[in-house]
Amino acid sequence: MKKIPLIFILLFLISACSSNKESASVIFCMDTVMDIKVYGEKSGDAVSEIESELNRLEKLFDRKYDGSDICTIKSGKIHAETEEIIKKALDISLKTDGAFDITIAPLMDLWGFYDKEYTIPGENEIKNALKSVSYRNIFFDEKGINIMNNAAVDLGGIAKGYASDKTVDILEKHGIKSAIVNLGGNVYAHGMRPNGKMWTVAVANPFDKEKNAVTVNVSDKAVVTSGAYQRCFEADGKKYHHIIDPKTGFPSESGIQSVTVIDADGTEADALSTAFFVMGKDRTADFLADNPGIDAVVITEEKKIYYTSGLEGCISNESDMEILCIND
C-alpha cells in the first residue's frame, strides 16, 4: 500500500479541526436575548459582524430609541432598509387580510407594552387608538412613503425575522456552512450541524415554557414562534399578551396559545407567525393550504398540536398533548 506522507495527514487534521472551530455569543438586543453559534474557520469574524449588524438594525427599527428611524418616520423619503421591511410588512398585511398590521403602535402603547407599565385601557381609548390603526394608512409612491391618519409604526412582529435574514447573508459571505442563531424566538438553522446531521429545533410548550412541545429537524430554515406566554401580564385574574388583534384593539383571542412557522424566508416567517396567531387555527390552515412550502405548528388552548404535512417525518411530539395533521 502506498504511504500517505505525514504532511498531508497533518494538513488534513488541521483543516478538520479548523472547520469545527466554534464561535459563540449571547447579546441582549431588540429587547430580547440573542444566542449565536457559528462553526467554521471564519466563525469568529462572522460572529463579530453579526453582533454589529444586530445592534445597527436595533437602532434603525426599535421604538425604544427615540431617535430611531421608525419613531421619527414621516411621509417622504426614508432609509432604504426601513422601506424594504415596511413593504414586506404591507405585503403580509394584504395576504392575511390585515391580521398582521404594523400600525398597531398606539395600541401597544395604550396597553403599556412599551414602558412595561401595563394597564387595561378603557373602551374609548381603544376606539380612539383604532382610528389610526390600519395598514392602509401607509403606502408608497414616487415621493416615498405616505403616512395617513397619524399612523405610527411598530416593527416588533417582523424586525427579528428581517435581522435573521441579514445574519444569513453574513454567514454566506464568510462561507459558513453550519450555524444556529436564536434571536429571541426567531431561530435560523443554517446548513447542517457540524456532524453533518440536520438541526433539531425545540418548540416550547406554551403551557409550561420550560418544557418542549415538539422538536423539528430542519436545515436552512427559520423556525419562528409567536406565543401568548412570551410577553404578557395578569390583571383581575386574566392574562393579557402582546399580540393584538388590529380589528378589536385587544390581545387576540383566536384560541391559539403558540404558533411556529418554518420557512426559508425569516422575515416572512416572523410576520406570518404573528398573523397566524391572530387568524386562529382554521384560517391559518386555509392560508397554508394555498401556500405550500411554508410549514407551521399550531398549539391551541385545547392543548392540541396541529402540524402541516410538510413536517411529516421531521417532527416529534415531546409532550402529552394530542398531535394532528392540520391538513386532515
- Number of shown-chain residues binding ligand AMP (CB under 6 A): 19
- The answer for residues whose C-beta is within 8 angstroms of residue 261's C-beta and 6 or more apart is 222, 223, 224, 268, 269, 270, 272, 273, 276, 294, 295, 296
Residue nearest to ligand AMP (CB): 156
Distances 222 to 9, 101, 103, 233, 249 between C-alpha atoms, Å: 38, 21, 25, 28, 29
- Given 82, 273, 284, 300, the residue binding Mg ion (CB under 5 A): 273
104 binds, among ligand AMP, Mg ion, none (CB under 5 to 8 A by kind): ligand AMP
244 binds, among ligand AMP, Mg ion, none (CB under 5 to 8 A by kind): ligand AMP
Least distance to Mg ion, CB of residue 225, Å: 9
Grid cell at residue 70 = 421608525
Least distance to Mg ion, CB of residue 263, Å: 12
For residue 186, give the amino acid letter: N
The DSSP code for 198 is P
Does position 73 interact with ligand AMP (CB under 6 A)? The reply is no
Least distance to ligand AMP, CB of residue 230, Å: 6
The Cα 22–Cα 46 span in angstroms is 11
**Interface with ligand AMP in residues 263-282 (CB under 6 A):** 270, 273-274, 278
Does position 226 interact with ligand AMP (CB under 6 A)? The reply is yes
* Torsion sign (Cα): 72, 78, 80, 86: positive
Does position 244 interact with ligand AMP (CB under 6 A)? The reply is yes
Does position 153 interact with ligand AMP (CB under 6 A)? The reply is no
Site string for ligand AMP, 38-57 (x = CB under 6 A): --------------------
Give me the long-range contacts of 281-289 (CB less than 8 A, separation at least 24).
281/254, 281/255, 281/256, 281/306, 281/326, 283/99, 284/256, 284/259, 284/326, 285/326, 285/327, 287/95, 287/96, 288/326, 288/327, 289/327
- Given 101, 263, 265, 268, the residue binding ligand AMP (CB under 6 A): 101
- Given 71, 108, 232, 264, the residue binding ligand AMP (CB under 6 A): 108
Where do contacts with ligand AMP occur on this chain (CB under 6 A)? 100-102, 104, 108, 154, 156-157, 226, 230-231, 242-244, 246, 270, 273-274, 278
